[in-house]
């Protein structure tokens, strides 16, 4: 069966989800290192009896998308901090990229080590608010998908039937 129409429809959906997800990251200010942005990708596989559309991204992208409940602030998410704080060193490069350099009440800069700890503790308590940068475009694409895929399958099935008829009537 020639499944080019199905593949094209899925490729379009994949491109849409990736483009919209990347755009959302930028609009939301969650694109400081570009690592997550660049990692968002997808793969389309069409088999005789099934289709597969697979998306991949950096692991921390799922936490950015779905959010993480903190110990004090809760979100509607499957992820939560319970008794282990995120490692403070994980915020080091982020602090530099964002240019965060607060001063204490005496006007002295806070050490980066102290700042990392304070940020890690704040994330532990307050969590990470869900951004849905990926979920929203994905859900929108899924709502469009049944009609587009059905049409594509219909075109592929039509081509297959024409091919069978040509072979049988030669």
pLDDT tens for each residue of the chain, 170 residues long: 357 777 888 899 899 999 999 999 999 999 888 999 999 999 998 777 777 888 999 999 999 999 999 999 999 999 999 999 999 999 999 899 888 888 888 989 999 999 999 999 999 999 999 999 999 999 898 887 766 666 665 555 445 444 444 443 33
Q: Provide the residue ranges of all domains of the chain, joining segments of one domain with +.
A: 1-67+130-170, 75-128
Contacts 24+ apart (CB under 8 A), 97-104: 97/32, 97/33, 98/32
**pTM as predicted:** 0.77
Contact 70, 123 (CB under 8 A): yes
């Amino acid at each position: 069966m020639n499944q080019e129409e199905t593949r094209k429809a899925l490729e379009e959906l994949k491109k849409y989800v990736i483009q919209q997800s990347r755009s959302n990251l930028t609009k939301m200010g969650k694109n400081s290192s570009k690592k997550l942005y660049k990692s968002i990708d997808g793969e389309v596989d069409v088999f005789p009896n099934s289709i597969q559309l697979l998306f991949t991204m950096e692991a921390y992208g799922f936490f950015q998308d779905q959010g993480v409940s903190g110990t004090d602030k809760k979100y509607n998410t499957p992820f939560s901090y319970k008794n282990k704080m995120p490692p403070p060193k994980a915020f080091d490069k982020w602090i530099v990229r964002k240019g965060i350099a607060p001063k204490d009440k005496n006007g002295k800069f806070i050490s980066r080590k102290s700042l990392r700890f304070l940020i890690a503790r704040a994330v532990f308590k307050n969590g990470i608010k869900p951004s849905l940068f990926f979920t929203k475009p994905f859900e929108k694409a899924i709502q469009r998908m049944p009609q587009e895929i059905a049409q594509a399958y219909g075109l592929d099935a039509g081509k297959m039937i024409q091919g069978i008829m040509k072979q049988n009537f030669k």
